[in-house]
Chain A
Amino acid sequence: MSDKPAVYAEGITRTFGDVKALDGMDLVVQRGQVVGLLGPNGAGKTTMVRILSTLLRPTGGHAEVAGFDVVKEANQVRRMIGLTGQFAAVDEYLTGRENLRMFGDLFHLTPAYVKARSEELLTSFDLDDAADRPVRTYSGGMRRRLDLAASLIARPEILFLDEPTTGLDPRSRLGMWQVINDLVADGTTVLLTTQYLEEADQLAQNIVVIDHGHVIAHGTAEQLKDQIGGDRIEVTVHDDATAERAARAMESVISGHPLIEGNKISAPVSGGSMVLVGAIRALDLAKIEITDIMLRRPTLDDVFMSLTGHLAEDETQRPEPTRRRGVRRR
């Protein structure tokens, strides 16, 4: 294998009718990296993954996966990748084991390898007991695990995960995170999309924030948080009247304008956890009793808010041209 990046995309555009799903999208994923593609619904995440996994042709731009052109060398790309989409792409009537066998056979692997690899995957994804039951009878979490197992049958070097935990209950989500982290530890390159900031924070070393079909920010979670400023101190006092006094008392410790909401004061600070000691001392000196005090790093929610002006989970005012279930043909 060459030393080319796992994913290299430049100026990708994709239009559906007169809707621009992708508008000059650039993306580089180095081998062994985990990159999280973060954005609200309709930002173009799924469209990007479908283009990189050869399911959709770009309207413009150029993309390579494992050094192969996704349009001209689609079949070589398919040999290198695994894809797990938002909807479990397995056969409902086949058993878990039959599904894995079918996909292994279609990958043109030897029956002996497919058999051994299926057993291994069924065990590691905790599907041993359900292996000979039709998938129809599986729970949502089991389906997703089988779906991911099916993507891994040929040990792909590059794995695309399109919203791998959407619709899963919290326990299944944690299980899925564990599985993904293990894969990454194993050296698999992963590009995952998510609309959950927490998920990108948990799984991805590198985060690419996209909105309206192009990249608006990228970096590690820490870098993104630094972009919008440092830590904030949050103090809760007994009543609203005291809040005003508390803010004044802390004037010497905080490094910006304090925000007062009811009995809560929040203000930017610089200087790490020693700030807490200073604040407590200042409040004690002013004889103000506090009920809660904390120093917090900005969350990716704060990042998203400051970059896009809306929250990531804000799904209401966006049209959804590219995620219609059903079949589109041209």
Chain B
Amino acid sequence: MSAITVGRPVALRRPIYGWALHDGFVVARRNLIQTLRVPELLFFSLVQPVIFVLLFAYVFGGAIPIPGDGASPADAANAYRQYLMPGIFGQTVAFAAAASTVGLAEDMSRGIIDRFRALPMSPSAVLLGRTFADAVRQILVLAVLSITGLLVGWRINNGLFSALLAYALLLFFAYTVAWVGAWIGLSVPNPETANTAGLAWLFPLTFLSNAFVPISSMPDWLQPIAAYNPISTLVLATRELFGNPTGIQPHYWSLDHAVLYTLISCAVLIGIFAPLAVRKYRNATSR
């Protein structure tokens, strides 16, 4: 500390969008740099959905009939791939929540959270940054998945604008479940538990939907549950926007207004889990 050349600290003026967003972007930048520094993690997070595409397209594809489509077996297999891709998209963005759970649980177990909490920063910034970065990462994941899909015969049939809407809806959903994942990450005692807890709720949630099988093929008592599962409406909305086959839908309000119902679900989930997570973060004390 020999030469002091820099003068007194110069404070930034409060940006018009507020400190929470400013600080959130700073933390998001940190989380995205972390992603770049561990390319192995990014690579394996891409491998899994790609394997899913190949598995379902070639292994299960022929065995799951889509009502109302495909006369010959070859047509049926092709129709299933068209049907499948939005399902994989939906499942992948939903599973992104697990990354938020683990990432946040790891942060909380480390010394750095003490420094964050001793800084005059917005108390929601760590969570805003985490959820935002996790959603941004999904852009890359969706790009890789889309290319894989195009290679196995999936097509966008409804024009660029609708396709962009579909991607936007998927990313908004990714952002939404990141908040649920963040809340779980703050509720578990350690990163090891986070690994399991982060995935436990996602498996039943994604499989109790139309991601891989049509709702009409489910038993009657299960159909309303699947129909009001936001993942079903997300996947259905995505199928419609990409112009992919949807199969024959049973009549439920959620399925009849898939985009609207998905947007409402996201808003409600963020409305519930964001304040819960922020409160948990504020009350959490490490050590």
- Show the binding face of A for B, using Cβ within 8 Å: 46, 50, 53-56, 75, 78-79, 81, 83, 85, 87-91, 93-94, 98, 102-103, 105-110, 112-113, 116-117, 120, 124, 134, 150-151, 154-155, 179, 182-183, 186, 322-330
Contacts and interface: CB of A to CB of B under 8 A. Distances in A.
B111 interface: yes
Give the residue among B8, B37, B283 with the most A Cβ atoms within 10 A: B37
Contacts of A117: 6, 9
Given A88-B111, A102-B30, A54 B118 contact: yes
A71 B232 CA distance: 46
Contacts of A113: 6, 9-10
Contacts of A94: 30, 33-34, 37
A93 B5 contact: no
Contact of A108 (B8, B37, B120, B190): B120
Given A102-B26, A327-B108, 13 more contacts: A53-B118, A81-B118, A83-B115, A91-B112, A93-B33, A103-B115, A106-B23, A107-B121, A113-B6, A117-B9, A183-B1, A325-B287, A327-B284
Given A98-B33, A108-B12, A186-B1, A323 B287 contact: yes
A79 B11 CA distance: 11
B280 interface: yes
B43 to A, nearest CB: 16
A55 B33 contact: no
B33 to A, nearest CB: 6
A108 B11 contact: yes
8 contacts: A78-B120, A85-B111, A87-B110, A103-B119, A109-B11, A113-B6, A116-B5, A326-B190
A116 B4 CA distance: 11
Interface string B1-30: 111111011111010000100110011011
B26 A134 contact: no
Interface in B20-59: 22-23, 26-27, 29-30, 33-34, 37-38
B203 interface: no
A166 B14 CA distance: 39
Interface in B240-285: 280, 283-285
Nearest to A80: B120
Give the residue among B6, B121, B283 with the most A Cβ atoms within 10 A: B6
Contact of A150 (B6, B38, B110, B115): B115
Nearest to B33: A94
Contacts, number: 136
B67 interface: no
A260 B192 CA distance: 58
B133 to A, nearest CB: 13
B118 to A, nearest CB: 5
B72 interface: no
B75 interface: no
Contacts of A179: 1
A46 B286 CA distance: 12
B23 A93 contact: no
Interface string B81-113: 000000000000000000000000000111111
B119 A107 contact: yes
A112 B12 CA distance: 10
**What 10 pairs across the A-B complex have the smallest Cβ distances?**
A89-B115, A87-B111, A182-B1, A89-B111, A78-B120, A93-B37, A106-B121, A113-B10, A93-B34, A105-B26
B33 A328 contact: no
Contacts of A330: 283, 285
Contact of A326 (B5, B34, B287): B287
A162 to B, nearest CB: 10
Contacts of B6: 113, 116-117, 120
Contacts of A88: 111
A329 B114 contact: no
A106 B2 contact: no
A93 B29 CA distance: 12
B125 interface: yes
B86 to A, nearest CB: 34
A127 to B, nearest CB: 13
Nearest to B125: A106
B189 to A, nearest CB: 7
Contacts of B10: 109-110, 112-113
Contacts of B4: 120, 186
B19 A108 contact: yes
B117 interface: yes
B116 interface: yes
A15 to B, nearest CB: 14
Contact of B119 (A98, A106, A116, A186): A106
Contacts of A155: 8-9
Contact of B112 (A90, A108, A110): A90
Contacts of B3: 120, 124
Contacts of B285: 50, 55-56, 327-330
Nearest to B14: A108
B120 A120 contact: no
